[in-house]
């Protein structure tokens, strides 16, 4: 149906954003994030992430997963492979229509590349579109290489 994560993301948005959380493993929580799988089909899924205020997920990767992140709201930044963040503070305002200026802006972590996310005092939310190349999806919270985001996250990784 889709050959890559970009085709999946475009299809999802053009198909009126179907929401069909799977019965099997739809929600997860770490020390800093809550996730809900909104849609899963074959090797593709979209997860909604809500990041707690004043928190950072350290540099990490998701092996064999291509991800495209779509900004929804709040005050957060995505980190690059080198561990740096672009300063988005000047974009923390609304458009004339009341929607956040960054709404819909994307970031990528292709083929398991290293990335991170941090949220400021307002917290933040984004969509994670994912193409799992070597297995059925569950959550990138489990498919994680690097330091965990919290003690709770480490417990989740140890139990998996």
Helix (H) or strand (E) holding 9: helix 5-14
Confidence of residue 160 (pLDDT cuts 50, 70, 90): confident
Which pLDDT score is estimated for 44? 98
Looking at the domain covering 5-159, what would its CATH class be?
mainly beta
Structure tokens given for 117? 């996310």
- For the purposes of burial, counting CB atoms within 10 Å of the CB of 141, is it exposed (0-12), middle (13-18) or buried (19 or more)? buried
**45 phi and psi angles, rounded to 5 deg:** -160, 165
3-class state of residue 5 by DSSP: helix
Distance CA(65)–CA(114), nearest Å, equals 11
Which pLDDT score is estimated for 110? 94
Which pLDDT score is estimated for 5? 98
Asked if 62 and 129 count as a contact pair (C-beta separation under 8 A), the reply is no
Compute CA 11 distance to the chain's CA centroid, rounded to the nearest angstrom. 18
What digits encode the pLDDT tens for the residues 59-74?
Answer: 999 999 999 999 999 9
pLDDT surpasses 90 at 32: yes
pTM score, two decimals? Answer: 0.94
Mean of pLDDT over the chain: 94
Distance CA(113)–CA(40), nearest Å, equals 22
What digits encode the pLDDT tens for the residues 76-112?
Answer: 999 999 989 988 888 888 989 989 999 999 999 999 8
- Sorted by where each begins, the domain ranges of the chain are 5-159
Which pLDDT score is estimated for 25? 85
pLDDT surpasses 90 at 37: yes
In percent, the amount of the chain with pLDDT more than 90 equals 86
């Amino acid at each position: 149906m889709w050959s890559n994560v970009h085709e999946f993301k475009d299809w999802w948005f053009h198909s009126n954003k179907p929401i069909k959380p799977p019965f099997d493993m739809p929600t997860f929580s770490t020390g800093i994030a809550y996730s809900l799988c909104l849609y899963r089909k074959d090797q593709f899924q979209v997860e909604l992430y809500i990041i707690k205020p004043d928190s950072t997920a350290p540099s990490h990767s998701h092996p064999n997963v291509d991800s495209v992140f779509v900004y929804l709201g709040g005050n957060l930044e995505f980190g690059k492979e080198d561990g740096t963040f672009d300063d988005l503070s000047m974009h923390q305002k609304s458009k004339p229509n009341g929607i956040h200026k960054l709404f819909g802006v994307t970031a990528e972590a292709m083929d398991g590349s290293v990335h991170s996310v941090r949220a400021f005092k307002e917290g933040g939310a984004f969509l994670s579109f994912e193409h799992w190349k070597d297995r059925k999806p569950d959550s990138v919270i489990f498919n994680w290489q690097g330091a965990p985001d919290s003690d709770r996250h480490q417990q989740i990784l140890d139990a998996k």
